[in-house]
Structures are given as structure tokens and as C-alpha cells.
Amino acid sequence: MQTAVRTLGLCKQYRGKAAVDHLDMQVSQGEIYGFIGANGAGKSTTFKLLAGLARPTAGQIELFGRPMETGTAARRVGILIEDAGLYGSMSARDNCLLKARLLGLDEETRAVDRVLAQVGLDKMGKKKAKHFSMGQRRRLGLALALVGSPDLLLLDEPTNGLDPEGIRDVRLLLQQLQSERGVTILVSSHILGELEKLATCYGIIREGRMVEQITAADLAARCRDYIAIKTSDPHRAAALLEERLHLHEYTVYPEGELRLYDAADPARVNAALLEGGVAVQSIGIHRQELEDYFLQRMGAEDHV
Amino acid sequence: MFEVLRMDWYRLRRQSYLLTGLLLGLGMIALAYAFATLLSDPETVNAMQAQGADITAEDIADGAALAGYTLQKYMHQMLFAGGFWISLMAVFTGVYCAEDYAGGAVKNIFPVLGCRWPYVVGRSLCLLLYNGVLMAAYLLVPLALSPVLVFSAVGGSWLDWLQMYLAACLVGWAISMCGFFLSTLVRREGWMVPVALLVGMGLPAVSLGAVCGLLHLPDLSRFTIFGCSQMITPDFRPVQYLHIAVVCLAWVVVYGLLTNLSLKRRDQA
């Protein structure tokens, strides 16, 4: 599979502070790449660098196998980064027509009508973009990214401000673009449950550095069952289980939850805790999800 | 480059920059004409004064002089003697360019172009076109209405009108490019209005002239865009015309380069 996006040692500093720090990233063509990181981790800056909106301090970017500086891939990229970048006094259609003219599209009105229908804004008429709701602005931003049928989409929080129906519509649209046209999609979202339904691989970024790149299949293999224990003193419970049952793989969460990743019998765990004088409010087996995995990779100790 | 020109021209039309520029400019010309016509009639002046209007002797003299004006001389006075038209151009084009940054729309432009030059050149061509269309309307509409206006004659040969038009386009283009450059620094429409007004009303030129006077240097303000706007004449004077053309084109190039440099040094989003 050919590479759509590749970065090597990509760095971006703002006033001497690294926003992106030697980021190595590789996205194959036709993938939906979930880009995950906490606020300020460097996701939006990475998107801006990939879109050519910010200059890298160091490092290289290749789009479709060619250095980005050549500009050869520019017209193959559609972006939605942070706010949608609209002209508020123009309608949705006019905003899209501007982009179509910039791209020099043939049959520009037909192309624009199609993308507006795809994002559900085809009935907006002459309503000015400044009067749109947050969700409508987001949809229009997505429509702008889709004008010109790009081969690569860079979508930073595309579902931000959308209602549940809108979130589902966007997910289905992106899946359709990937399956029918082989569009490569880099998408970031804090709604990890939603991202899990969409992404074919993930990149986890922390403090500007790539922590891990993992395919959805590998992630599924790594996501294990765990025992979740609710107790008033999870730290004491953890120490007790280490001592009595030799269970060492666990994470303590701030809401009084203890998660055991070692295979163990919940009944034995419960008995050991009761014997040790730790009151258990609830105990049960759960399946680890992307959110859990992400938090684990980010270092759950940060959350304690 | 031509895609940028097409996009910009579409935006100028759809966001009513073109219509507003036309209506505002022609409206101001019509209002000034109506006021001067009223003052040129002694009976009307008496009636207005009887109703308490504060009319100075200077106003009356201006009104009386109107009858001796040709249309061409009046239009020259109206457009180029003060800073009205050049200020209008600076504000309109400055705000127009700043909109790219204020709303973040530039994020949808640069990734498509891949480099800065098509944006700078395409935008500059659009600004020239905008100036050309507005100035043509400002001159052609009064010309078309000349049979019903009070002027003694149209005045000037076609060459005089043409040189006035072309000189105005060049000056307008240069001040628009200045607004374009400033918009890449200011990046806010609200801030762009006062900045463009100060530039359009000739504050830098007047300041430069004053400094030159204080230092007993030759007056360099004639090498400014505002200085050139004051040098536009109703009749064709080749040397003066050449001066305006060279200075304005030089400023267009300088502001184009500065805009490119500004875009290069700062991230676009």
C-alpha cells in the first residue's frame, strides 16, 4: 500500500516551545487514521503543518510520496482545521463556489451542490454563514474540505458541535468516501468511542511526540478484559491485591476505580479485599476500549 | 493565479464590495453636486438662509464657480483634489483583504495553491480590476448624464479623460496593494478600517512632507501614493503622468514583495 502522508522528525516551535517535537508519522493511502491526543498535544499544529498553513521548524513532510514543498499534492488535500474558515456574509453555496473557482473545477455548481447535499446543507438557501449554528458551520467546513473531491482529508474535530444524528452522518460519509473512492482520512476527535467506529489505524500523540501508531486490528488484539473494582480506597485495595494475590498489572483511577489487567477470578479478588477489610462497592469484568487504552498509554498515573 | 482572480472577483460581487463601492462613490458625487447646484442659485441660497441654514461666503463662492466649471474639471476636483476616493479605496480593499484572515478563510486558500505567489499576484490583479471598474463608473455615469447637468461643457479631449482614468487606476491600485500588505499584518477587519483611513487620507505623505520641510530636504511626498493622487491633472501632461505611472507601479511591486515576505514569515493559521 502506498504512503499518503509521511513525516520525518517534524518539529514546530512557538517562541522556543515545542508544539510538535520530532514527529514521525506514516499514513497509508485509503486509511482512516485516528489522531488521538489530549488538548495541547500538538494535533492541530500537526494538521496545520500537513496543510502547509504553518512552517515546520525542522523535519520533512511527504504527501503521496513527494516532498510537500513541491506543492504537487496541494490540490489533492481537503482540510477542516479548528474553525471552518468561512466568509460570514456569504451563503453556504457561495462559500463552496469560491473554493470551486479557486480549484478551477469544471461544472463547479454541480460539484458544489453535490457536496452540500452530502453534508445536509443543500436546503440552506441564501442564509448567511454567520447566522449558522455551530453544527451547521461544522458541516459547511466539511463541505469546503470535500469540494474538488480530494484524495486526502485532514479533519480536526469534524464532529465538534454536531448532534448525535450529525455525528453519525459524518461517520457514514467518511466511511463511504474511504470505501468508494479510497480517500485517505486523518481525523482527530476527543469522542474516542466514535473514532473507534471509524478508524482503521491510530496515532497517539503526547507533548508533540508520537507515542504509538497502531492498526485497529492490533488494538483490538491488545485491548484486554479487565476487572473493574469500585471502592472507597483503591490504593489500599491495590496494595492488598499485590500482596495477597500477586497481581501487579493494574491502574488506579481518580473516581475510586481500580482496574486489574491480570487474569484473575473476580470472586477471589472480592474475597481477598473483604478479608483485608476493604469495602467493595461493585466488581465486574469489562472489555478494554480505545478510551481505556489511550488513557493507559498516556500514563494513568497522571490521572490519579 | 487566474483562479485566485476568478475567486476574488466572485467574492467582490457576492459580498457587495462592488455594489457598495459604486453606490457610495456615485452617491457622494451626486450629493456634492446637488449641494453645489443649490448654492449656485441665489434665490435658493436666500431661502435656505431665511430658514436658518448656516451658509458661508465660501460656500456661496463655490456654488457660483460651479457654473463656470466643465464636467471634467468638476470631476477632477471631486475625486482627486481631496482624499475622498483614495481613502474609500484604501478602506474597501483593506477590509476586503483582511477578511481572509479575520474569519480564517485563508485556511481554505493556501493549501489549494501550494505557494504564495499565485495568491499575491491573483489578488493584486483583482484589485486592479476593482479599481478599474469603479473608476470607470465614477467617470462614465456623470459623462452619460452630462446633457442634464448644469456644467457649461463636458471639457477635455478623450485623451484627457483617458489619462485621468488610467492615472486614477494606477494610484488606486497602489493604495489597494498597500491595504493588502497591511491586512497581512493587521489581520482584523476592525483594525483595518482606521489603519486604511489614516493611510488613505495621506497621513504618511503629509508627515513625510513635513519632515522634509523641517530638514530642508526636497519634498519626497510626491513619491508617495497619496502625493501621486494629488498630482493627477485634468489635462494630459506627459512628464507628470510618467511620474505617477512609475511611482505607482514601483509601489505596487514593493507592496507585492512585502506582502509575500509577510506571508512567508508568519504562519497562515
pLDDT at A70: 65
Kindly give, in sequence order, each residue whose CB lies less than 8 Å from that of residue B144, ignoring residues fewer than 6 positions away.
Answer: none
Kindly give, in sequence order, each residue whose CB lies less than 8 Å from that of residue B230, ignoring residues fewer than 6 positions away.
Answer: B80, B81, B202
Q: What is the 3-state secondary structure (H, E, C) of chain B?
A: CHHHHHHHHHHHHHCCHHHHHHHHHHHHHHHHHHHHHHHCCHHHHHHHHHCCCCCCHHHHHHHHHHCCCCHHHHHHHHHHHCCHHHHHHHHHHHHHHHHHHHCCHHHHCHHHHCCCHHHHHHHHHHHHHHHHHHHHHHHHHHHHCHHHCCCCCCCCCHHHHHHHHHHHHHHHHHHHHHHHHHHHHHCCHHHHHHHHHHHHCCHHHHHHHHHHHHCCCCCHHHHCHHHHHHHCCCCCCHHHHHHHHHHHHHHHHHHHHHHHHHHHHCCCC
A74 touches chain B (CB under 8 A): yes
In chain B, residues with a C-beta closer than 8 Å to the C-beta of A89 are 15
DSSP letter (8 states) at residue A74: G
Low-confidence spans in chain B with pLDDT less than 70:
268-269
| Edge-to-edge strand list for the sheet holding A257-260 | A250-253, A257-260, A225-231, A280-287
Output the pTM of the full model: 0.80
pLDDT at B84: 83
Query: Within a 10 A sphere around the Cβ of A275, how many other Cβ atoms?
Result: 10
CA distance A211 to chain B (A): 25
Give Cα separations from A3 to A9, A11, A54 (angstroms): 17, 20, 22
* Pairwise CA distance, residues B85 & B28, whole Å: 10
In chain B, residues with a C-beta closer than 8 Å to the C-beta of A104 are 3, 6
A38 touches chain B (CB under 8 A): no
Q: In degrees rounded to 5, what are phi and psi of residue B227?
A: -60, -40
pLDDT at A73: 65
A55 touches chain B (CB under 8 A): yes
Q: Cβ(B187)–Cβ(B196) under 8 Å? A: no
Q: Cβ(B79)–Cβ(B141) under 8 Å? A: no
How is chain B split into domains, by residue range?
A: 2-17+70-265
Q: Could you give all domains of chain A from N- to C-terminal order, each with its CATH number? A: 3-220 (3.40.50.300), 224-287 (3.30.70.100)
pLDDT at A301: 39
Quick check: B103 and A82 CB within 8 A? Answer: no
The three grid cell numbers given for residue B129, joined into one nine-digit string: 480590476
Q: Which of B62, B56, B7 is nearest to B36 (CA)?
A: B62
pLDDT in tens, B189-219: 888 888 888 888 878 888 888 888 888 888 8
- Which of A20, A53, A82 best tests the B interface by mutation, with the highest count of B CBs <10 A? A53
pLDDT at A303: 40
* Pairwise CA distance, residues A95 & A103, whole Å: 13
The three grid cell numbers given for residue A177, joined into one nine-digit string: 468516501
Does ipTM come in above 0.85?
A: no
The three grid cell numbers given for residue A59, joined into one nine-digit string: 523535519
- Which of B3, B107, B110, B188 best tests the A interface by mutation, with the highest count of A CBs <10 A? B107
Angle between helices B117-144 and B2-14 (to 10 degrees): 50
Is the alpha carbon torsion for B101, B104, B106, B107 positive or negative? positive
A271 touches chain B (CB under 8 A): no
Kindly give, in sequence order, each residue whose CB lies less than 8 Å from that of residue B119, ignoring residues fewer than 6 positions away.
Answer: B4, B109, B110, B113, B263
In order along chain A (304 residues), what is the average pLDDT of each group of 10 residues?
88 88 91 89 90 88 83 78 86 92 86 89 86 86 90 89 84 87 90 84 89 83 82 89 86 83 82 88 83 71 40
**In which residue are the cell numbers 493584486 written?**
B124
pLDDT at A300: 44
Quick check: B269 and A48 CB within 8 A? Answer: yes
